Structure 1
Amino acid sequence: MLALASMASAFVLAASAHADDKQLVFYEASHAWLGHPFWNVLNKGMKDAAEKYGVKVVSLQENSPPNSGQQSEKIDRAIAANPDGLIVSLPDAKGVESSLKRATEKGIPIIAMNVGDTRPAGERIPYLFYIGGDEKLGGERAADYILSHKKPTSGLCVNTNAGQSGLVARCEGFTTTYKKANVKAETIVVPPDSPTQAAEQFRAYLTANPDIASVFVVDPTYTVEIMKVLEEAGKSDQVTLFSYDMSKEVIDAIEKGKILGTVDQQQYLQGYLAVEFLYLNKEHGFTLAQDILTGPAIIDKDNVAAVKANVTAGYR
């Protein structure tokens, strides 16, 4: 369990039992939020690395996803604590760059994880490097897999947050790949943080577009709700469903053939490696010449059994 460190929603993910004044302290100020299965896995990665290297990791996660203004406030709070390193994600890089510029000016090393700055090189925030999946490539891989296994006549990408650059890139990769294969594809945007409302919006779409042949959903919780809509409509055998990321429900559905597969970005590694490399940077000056891609990888019926135990254990 995460221990509440203050009334300001700061959580100590891990700290050495033998802490002293020389202990390294890293802050995490991403767009993560408490309680979501995806972030629980990433948090486990940070916690495990912090315990291994004897550092303290303070997370500023709260109970709902922050917008860019709220994330900037969290980054400012982290900078005020003068940490030895800072871990961030950048779903809206432009919205937080002024705060991160102040961190750079103070000499605080920054690692971006989960979502990087996708702008051209000269415009990007000067973090050390990025650890995470390639979002656009993930959408492309999902599309390629569906096209090669099911030969669909049409495709739909369900974006669960139009303001999140990574999710936009997933849908862009998916629809562009379909169109290159001369298969029509489009994107719909459903309400963020409300899988139930999203399911109703998809139900209306399905009624208006009964010939839709394949659906790619960028979030596993939403995938499960859309799967239920397809089942209720008697369309499960007619519509190919593909997801992004994993949950126990998604894994079970892949085993049963209700979901063709999912894209795995190995978020445990995103959390673990961010802490590990901040430690190595501070202790030994190490950095990397390029980003670390933890995904995309495809999980389907052929390899789902190999990852199922890790999902249960909180590593996937």
Structure 2
Amino acid sequence: MITPPPPASRRSLRVTALASAVALLLAAGCTASGDGTDSGTDPTVQAGAARLKVTMITHATDGDTFWDLVKKGAEAAAAKDDIDLTYANDPDTAGQAALVQDAVRDKADGIALTLAKPQAMQGAVAAATAAGIPVVGLNSGIDAWQSAGLLEYFGQDESVAGQAVGDKLDDLKAKHALCVIHEQGNVALEARCAGVKKTFGGQTEMLYVDGTNTDTVAAAITARLQQDRTIDEVVTNGARFALTAVKSVKETRSKARVATFDLNEDLVRAVQSGDVQFAVDQQPYLQGYLAVDALWLYKTNGNISGGGVEPVLTGPAFVTKTNVAAVARFAAGGTR
């Protein structure tokens, strides 16, 4: 015969049983909702859910350290968001458009691209949007992204950046600027030099060169500095072209100073040494990061940065000898 517990013990057992039942119900509520999803976990990160496939397509030339920074930023965002990222580039617009068509056929979940020559990319972008693939822009095409049907844009307003450089040249008492454009027809580069000319009180001269051949770039800058000794400022549109211009200035014993749009680790050192007066940083790592992260946010939560009506600006920011130390440590890490 089993002796029943006293009344007090029975009450204690009932309380314990009730507490256990409540705990089980609470646990069930945390792990499942009425629609069968895990309500205690971010619904965008479901076990067994397919990874988003994002393709980034740029007009970069191989070996350009600027685009290495864009790619690093994109890869960092992809790692954070668990995205399957494909990066592809082609400086030829037809090749870039073909890469977009490839991404459409591969059923990418999102495409991030540059619009260096917007008209030539219209058909490819239209094919992507017709397939229901969200497309965002970065780096080039700030005046064309909305009309092209892109959701968002991340980059620098190149006209504003150019005008800021023109004002700075006035502050530096420059009189004759040579603005070097290394890709004719690239809307971003054209807008920069046009912006310089708009605000600079001195003479602004455009020099078109073939940016795919460093030797011809050097020869063209050297020849122009030899022909006109009144040129007192060379403005380039990329860090590697600025370093080429520094060599041309030294070779010709010109009194011209060198300034540039964009920077990399070598350019940071050139600013530190005084070989380059200043650089305009549009933060390419940030452009790549934001473009990929924006597609993840759109696909998982319907977010649109800038509301789809305003670009998200990543520059311009001036890097001079007075503030270059703050940038140098990040440049050494390969992210500026």
Range into which the TM-score falls when normalised by the shorter chain: 0.7 to 0.9
For 1:19 and 1:161, how far apart are their aligned partners in 2?
47
Query: What's the CA shift for 1:248?
Result: 2.4
Q: What corresponds to 1:26 in structure 2? A: 54
* Mapping for residues 262-277 of structure 1, pairs under 5 Å: 262-277=279-294
Q: Is 1:157 the counterpart of 2:179 in the alignment?
A: yes
The alignment partner of 2:58 has SS state of: coil
For the aligned residue pairs, the C-alpha RMSD in angstroms reads: 1.7
Choose 1 or 2 for highest CA Rg.
Answer: 2
CA deviations on 1:160-219 (whole Å, 9 max, x unpaired) are 1112111111111112222xx2x1111010112112211111111111111111111111
Retained in 1: the 8 A contact 2:141–2:187?
A: no
Q: Is 1:294 the counterpart of 2:314 in the alignment?
A: yes
Q: Is 1:249 the counterpart of 2:269 in the alignment?
A: no
Q: How many residues align?
A: 288
Query: What's the CA shift for 1:247?
Result: 2.0
Matched AA of 1:72: A
Q: Is 1:280 the counterpart of 2:304 in the alignment?
A: no
Matched AA of 2:189: L
The alignment partner of 1:212 has SS state of: coil
Q: What corresponds to 1:80 in structure 2? A: 105
Identify which of 113, 116, 125 aligns with 1:91.
116
Identify which of 107, 114, 120 aligns with 2:132.
107
CA deviations on 1:131-165 (whole Å, 9 max, x unpaired) are 011112221112211211x2112111011111211
* Mapping for residues 179-194 of structure 1, pairs under 5 Å: 181=201, 183-194=202-213
For 1:79 and 1:21, how far apart are their aligned partners in 2?
21
Provide closer, same or farther for how the CA distance between residues 301 and 19 of structure 1 changes in structure 2, counting only shifts above 3 A: farther
What's the TM-score once normalised by structure 1's chain length? 0.87
For 1:19 and 1:226, how far apart are their aligned partners in 2?
54
CA deviations on 1:11-62 (whole Å, 9 max, x unpaired) are xxxxxxx99552111111221344321111111101111111111111123x
The alignment partner of 1:139 has SS state of: helix
| Larger mean Cα displacement after TM superposition, 248-257 or 202-211 | 248-257
Retained in 2: the 8 A contact 1:34–1:40?
A: no
Matched AA of 1:275: V
For structure 2, list consecutive stretches of 5 or more residues without a partner in the other structure: 1-45
The alignment partner of 2:174 has SS state of: coil
Retained in 2: the 8 A contact 1:157–1:175?
A: no
Retained in 1: the 8 A contact 2:155–2:282?
A: yes
Retained in 2: the 8 A contact 1:88–1:113?
A: yes
Retained in 1: the 8 A contact 2:155–2:312?
A: yes
For 2:68 and 2:178, how far apart are their aligned partners in 1?
28
Provide closer, same or farther for how the CA distance between residues 265 and 117 of structure 1 changes in structure 2, counting only shifts above 3 A: closer
Q: What corresponds to 2:198 in structure 1? A: 176
For structure 1, list consecutive stretches of 5 or more residues without a partner in the other structure: 1-17
Identify which of 75, 81, 85 aligns with 1:47.
75
Provide closer, same or farther for how the CA distance between residues 120 and 70 of structure 1 changes in structure 2, counting only shifts above 3 A: closer
Find runs of 4+ consecutive structure 1 residues off by over 4 angstroms.
18-21
For 1:46 and 1:120, how far apart are their aligned partners in 2?
19
Provide closer, same or farther for how the CA distance between residues 300 and 87 of structure 1 changes in structure 2, counting only shifts above 3 A: same
What's the TM-score once normalised by structure 2's chain length? 0.82
The alignment partner of 1:29 has SS state of: strand
Query: What's the CA shift for 1:74?
Result: 0.5
Provide closer, same or farther for how the CA distance between residues 126 and 213 of structure 1 changes in structure 2, counting only shifts above 3 A: same
Sequence identity of aligned pairs in percent? 29
Provide closer, same or farther for how the CA distance between residues 156 and 33 of structure 1 changes in structure 2, counting only shifts above 3 A: closer
Matched AA of 1:37: T
Matched AA of 1:147: D
The alignment partner of 1:60 has SS state of: strand
Retained in 2: the 8 A contact 1:162–1:189?
A: yes
Q: Is 1:202 the counterpart of 2:221 in the alignment?
A: yes
Retained in 2: the 8 A contact 1:117–1:125?
A: no
For 1:19 and 1:153, how far apart are their aligned partners in 2?
63
Provide closer, same or farther for how the CA distance between residues 120 and 76 of structure 1 changes in structure 2, counting only shifts above 3 A: closer
Q: What corresponds to 2:236 in structure 1? A: 217
Matched AA of 2:170: L
Matched AA of 2:131: K
The alignment partner of 1:116 has SS state of: coil
CA deviations on 1:76-109 (whole Å, 9 max, x unpaired) are 0010011110111000111011111111111110
Identify which of 85, 90, 94 aligns with 1:69.
94
For 1:279 and 1:32, how far apart are their aligned partners in 2?
23
